[in-house]
Amino acid sequence: MKVLVINAGSSSLKYQLLKTKSGEVLAKGNADRIGLDNSFIKHSRNGEEIKVIPVVLADHTDAIKAVIKVLTDKGTGVIKSLKEIEAVGHRVVHGGEKFSTSVLITPEIKVAIKACIPLAPLHNPPNITGIEACEAAMPNIPQVAVFDTAFHQTMPPKAFMYALPYEVYEEHKVRRYGFHGTSHAYVAKRAAELLGKPFVSLKLVTCHLGNGSSIAAVKHGECIDTSMGLTPLAGVCMGTRCGDIDPAIVTFLMQKEGLDAKGIDNLMNKKSGVAGISGVSSDFRDLEDASEKGNERAELALQMFEYQCKKFIGAYAAAMGGLDAVVFTAGIGENVHRVRANIIAGLEFLGMKLDTEKNKARGVEAVISTDDSNTTILMIPTNEELAIAMATEAICSKK
Ligand code: ADP
């Protein structure tokens, strides 16, 4: 099936047209600076150089029209007409408690996605805008919503509840939701395939380590716990996000620094994490370089990240009562061997032995543990677009 995958942000709209069966990406790109001046599309056909095409993008409807144009254009296109697109899969960040799977988009579904806006005020509105723009441009093509939160909806209450007054959960739906669900589900299922064992028989920890990082405990085919929470700020420290901190720090700093809600939110989301600690960068390539040149704060940031990830693996092994495999994925998980090595170091008591040579691999599917390691350590490049396309196909074939 040819599926167009759409990831709509507030001022950008990423797209990928791919074939689900082979995973072949026919074309991909990004319509950027929507609603701003100097807007453009960065477009590439499989294996070809990226073309930057200046185009006026007043809103998301313009952006979708422009994407359709580059996909069908004689010079830049990969399809003759829109009819070749069999379905559109939309990444939707927050599905609240309502969505535990992907769904075919109907007017009622859009109302339910809009009802989740208070939980993801920055993400769900552009997601909805992207959906409506596609509906207008492609009225006869099925549209499917694939939620970042859905895979984590199997968590039991003891894992997703916060120990706040119960009414806070009832009235405001304040609870752990978790994110990167499409990626965790994809690499967990792929791990089962690579291990040659049924997904439902395994206890896995999946580590999605990128700009935003989250870790999940996947027991017998279901997520039972994850490190991100009500929002993607929780869990391990990230590029610029602080991750888990003593919650009293929030009011303490608001008083000491005279910050309002927006100010403290900005400090924790944009000025913290490994960037805030190192003062160097949020990018692990820069941190490694700086650390190698003797920058102690860059080294501290790396060590904090590694230590926090290690603790989650230990906690989740305890939560699941064992561990068959640990999976590393996303920008850092797929590329930074020192981070993987330092996370695993000392976890021999959990049956893990890293193979130093195999761990040098980058960006490929690989077993990076030794042959005699009881717990397998895997590196699996994530492919969220393919996972969204496959979920879209699965929903369409149910119709
Ligand atoms: P996101 O999708 O959340 O933006 P990614 O999964 O692409 O994030 O991860 C981005 C991060 O991965 C970068 O900030 C960088 O720290 C790290 N990264 C990506 N590629 C490399 C690399 N080749 N070497 C070291 N770090 C890398």
**Pairing between β-strand 203-209 and β-strand 325-329 as defined by DSSP bridges:** parallel
Provide the residue-wise pLDDT of the chain in tens; the chain has 399 residues. 999 999 998 889 999 999 999 999 999 999 999 999 999 999 999 878 899 999 999 999 999 999 999 999 999 999 999 999 999 999 999 999 999 999 999 999 999 999 999 888 888 999 999 999 999 999 999 999 999 999 999 999 999 999 999 999 999 999 999 999 999 999 999 999 999 999 999 999 999 999 999 999 999 999 999 999 999 999 999 999 999 999 999 999 999 999 999 999 999 999 999 999 999 999 999 999 999 999 999 999 999 999 999 999 999 999 999 999 999 999 999 999 999 999 999 999 999 999 999 999 998 999 999 999 999 999 999 999 999 999 999 999 886
Ligand 1: distance of its center to the CA of 315 in Å?
25
Give the integer Cα–Cα distance in Å for 243 and 321. Answer: 25
Which of 284, 302, 339, 364 maximizes ligand 1 atoms within 8 Å of its Cβ, making it the mutation to test the pocket? 284
Helix ranges, 226-295 (H): 248-257, 261-270, 273-278, 284-292
Report the nearest atom of ligand 1 relative to the CA of 239.
14
The pLDDT of residue 145 is: 98
Ligand 1: distance of its center to the CA of 124 in Å?
24
Q: Which of 188, 181, 194, 189 is nearest to 365 (CA)?
A: 194
The pLDDT of residue 399 is: 66
Which of 241, 283, 380 maximizes ligand 1 atoms within 8 Å of its Cβ, making it the mutation to test the pocket? 283
CB atoms within 10 A of CB 102: 23
Q: Using CB atoms within 10 Å of the CB of residue 226, give its burial: 0 to 12 exposed, 13 to 18 middle, 19+ buried.
A: buried
Give the integer Cα–Cα distance in Å for 39 and 53. Answer: 9
Ligand 1: distance of its center to the CA of 11 in Å?
21
- 196-379 fold: Nucleotidyltransferase; domain 5 (3.30.420)
Question: Strand runs (DSSP E) across 57-190, as ranges?
Answer: 87-92, 103-104, 143-147
Pocket lining for ligand 1, CB < 6 angstroms = 210-212, 239, 282-285, 330-332, 335-336
The pLDDT of residue 398 is: 80
Q: Whose CA is nearest to atom 13 of ligand 1?
A: 283
Give the integer Cα–Cα distance in Å for 20 and 15. Answer: 15
Ligand 1: distance of its center to the CA of 283 in Å?
7
User: What is the sign of the dihedral through the CA atoms of 281, 286, 292 and 293?
Assistant: negative
Q: Does the active-site annotation cover 148?
A: yes
The pLDDT of residue 9 is: 87
Amino acid code (one letter) for 108: E
The residues, any chain, with a CB within 8 Å of residue 300's CB and separated by 6 or more, are 277, 278
Q: Whose CA is nearest to atom 19 of ligand 1?
A: 331
Ligand 1: distance of its center to the CA of 48 in Å?
22
Report the nearest atom of ligand 1 relative to the CA of 283.
16
Q: Whose CA is nearest to atom 18 of ligand 1?
A: 331
CA 28 distance to own-chain centroid: 18
Report the nearest atom of ligand 1 relative to the CA of 287.
16
Ligand 1: distance of its center to the CA of 122 in Å?
22
Report the nearest atom of ligand 1 relative to the CA of 284.
16
Which of 182, 206, 332 maximizes ligand 1 atoms within 8 Å of its Cβ, making it the mutation to test the pocket? 332
User: Given 148, 286, 289, 371, which residue is catalytic?
Assistant: 148
Q: Whose CA is nearest to atom 14 of ligand 1?
A: 283
Q: Whose CA is nearest to atom 22 of ligand 1?
A: 335
Domain with CATH 3.30.420.40 in the chain: 2-147, 196-379
CATH number of 2-147: 3.30.420.40
The pLDDT of residue 142 is: 97
Report the nearest atom of ligand 1 relative to the CA of 382.
6
Ligand 1: distance of its center to the CA of 284 in Å?
7
The pLDDT of residue 159 is: 98
